[in-house]
Chain A
């Protein structure tokens, strides 16, 4: 006998669990024009335990309050990789951890990003806003003062996790297969072999968790297997069955424009993304995550470490896809310049953060470092476009020369 512990919704309680307020629009929590206030109530013992075991993923129960909406029975845990610490906790709020199906603002979970690794404190929010501006899927973000049991914890970025509401907004349905990529070792989309557990290690499924693994993972496995075909011959035909190639190229191009150093062409292999396969489709798309390593280096090449991602590298060997890559980056550059949008965004967000509260002295950087880094990000926003436009022009010349030489 096997009891299948499928945690099906305790639907009857669901409506009660998420009070609908006439005054509060829950979606306002992602309004990035304001600094929000979020309160958590936790048992004092749990809070001590959470602080002591900040390196563990143990969930603790809490009540979450935003304005006059109180969501009971949410799960809270420490989160993050390099940003995880016990001084200023990075937190994941899981609305449906204890009550299956419970939502707030159409999302099953949000992250309270402790802004630990980004002295400017605005890279994440500015980058996600830019990705959305470019028409691609992106998490909604805002800033919030966070209180636990009435004690101020600091200013956080509120980040929507790619889950139900996000997927419905983007794809119309949320019933597809969603995977969160976990950095375990440097990886470049090389074949992983026949064992599904290799895929499960790197790609944690965030939907269909209780389904048998094979039907959930096999299309993803097929996509990565297809990447091993010779790029000159069968690669494209095979990969297009399992991957939305233009979307992947656009995704990578936007990252390249933003100078991401820990993403699709990261310094230690691919990192910081989700993969989604809509219901009824075999094609996967990439969704961005954790953008606080963008906008660090103004003159980072748009082809930086492309060879560290075999999927992108193979794609850019095709002239039409390479052209799409360059066109998308060009579109990014023009969009960033249009009404100085990116510079204005960074300036506005940094002013918002600075107005939220006195500078948090628990952060691992000083106010001077913060101010200096904001200046750097503004400089990036001002000058990145001209740098990449020049690179694009050079690349196009090279492509033209290559084509002419092949014609001859």
Chain B
């Protein structure tokens, strides 16, 4: 549960600051000057395994945070994990400069990927899609202008960030990822004025670009269970570019989301003789659907059941010519991919407690292997939050 206590600008239903939510019993106000909303979250995930002795239960996320507003122009959010090497998550302020222009500064998620920028409370599956988890940039320190124009049908977000997300691991100093990153997203609700359900259709295009210093690209592929299927061994240098398209539609009790994203890392001067290699590419997509069962099961008005399904693919490779090779300087590297189908049942017991049951079927073709492997993995999650 990567909770976004203050939901990001483009997240599902995230336009209004939580502190303004009068129905939230954990929000406080000091007159009209300051409003605060507290949040805390915990999730316990149990993941199955082909090996019956190897299922594991983890208290995977424990987070606290506060968000709110000061006056009518300034919003803010602070969130951190209770443990971990990098506990601080969101720390930012967001100032309204004009009616359609806001400025956000601090550490927050780059505007890329509908799912990645959606708070965990609103996710339809235990885990985000493979593409959103591994190809979207995540959080970094930066400054971003954003706002809505054209009678709020068009939303823009554009900013400059210190790096391309969370940055390289100090355990692997030879690895490289994007440095100063420019990111932007344009979201549109083209039929917003329509009275039919099509009026809810949301489509967005996003892109990031950043210089990539010489090193081993940190692009790597892991399955839903965290097994490596594409190693981070390929040298890169030049630019990292990321493009994405996303869509969401919520007709009646249904909710359909889809995304496609692609990352390319240039490999300038990385051949054995110092010439350029074909770029390293990673691409992924998913299509997900949710049906909200009309009858509520459990106590309270928030209790509900949802049935969910998702198909997705995450693939790595390169263009280039010659023999496919695991050579970290090969023009044409050995490709790898993971295709997954996830079936889910979500039970909102109360406003504060949710149970998710997922079954994940994966067909993985690891780099260097001609034989794909297929697995079914059950995943169970209990999530508690204010």
Contact = CB atoms under 8 A, between A and B. Distances in A.
A63 interface: yes
Contact of B325 (A11, A45, A72): A72
B329 A10 contact: no
Q: How large is the interface on B (under 10, 10 to 19, 20 to 34, 35 or more residues)?
A: 35 or more
A90 B322 CA distance: 29
B323 A44 contact: no
B228 A10 contact: no
Contacts of A184: none
A14 B324 CA distance: 9
A42 B369 contact: no
A48 interface: no
A1 B334 contact: no
Interface centre among B229, B326, B377 (most CB of A within 10 A): B326
A41 interface: yes
A98 B364 contact: no
A4 interface: yes
A44 B272 CA distance: 8
Nearest to B273: A41
Interface in A1-30: 1-14, 16-17
Contact of A43 (B49, B50, B271, B325): B271
Given A43-B272, A73-B325, A3 B368 contact: no
A61 B330 contact: yes
Contacts of A1: 49-50, 223, 225, 227, 362, 375, 377
A11 B377 contact: no
Interface string A43-83: 11110000000000000011100000000110100000000
B89 to A, nearest CB: 29
A9 to B, nearest CB: 7
A10 B323 contact: yes
Contacts of A7: 326, 368-369
B371 interface: yes
Contact of B368 (A43, A61, A72, A100): A100
Given A73-B325, A98-B325, A3 B371 contact: no
Interface in A66-120: 72-73, 75, 97-100
A8 B373 CA distance: 13
A13 B272 contact: no
B327 interface: yes
Given A1-B375, A61-B328, 15 more contacts: A1-B223, A1-B377, A2-B50, A3-B227, A3-B229, A5-B369, A8-B370, A10-B334, A11-B370, A13-B324, A43-B273, A61-B330, A73-B325, A98-B326, A99-B324
The 8 closest A-B pairs by CB, nearest first: A13-B323, A98-B327, A73-B325, A61-B327, A1-B375, A73-B327, A3-B227, A98-B326
27 contacts: A1-B225, A1-B227, A2-B49, A2-B51, A3-B223, A3-B228, A4-B369, A4-B373, A5-B368, A6-B369, A6-B371, A7-B368, A7-B369, A8-B368, A8-B370, A11-B370, A13-B324, A17-B325, A41-B272, A43-B274, A45-B214, A61-B328, A61-B329, A75-B327, A99-B323, A99-B326, A99-B327
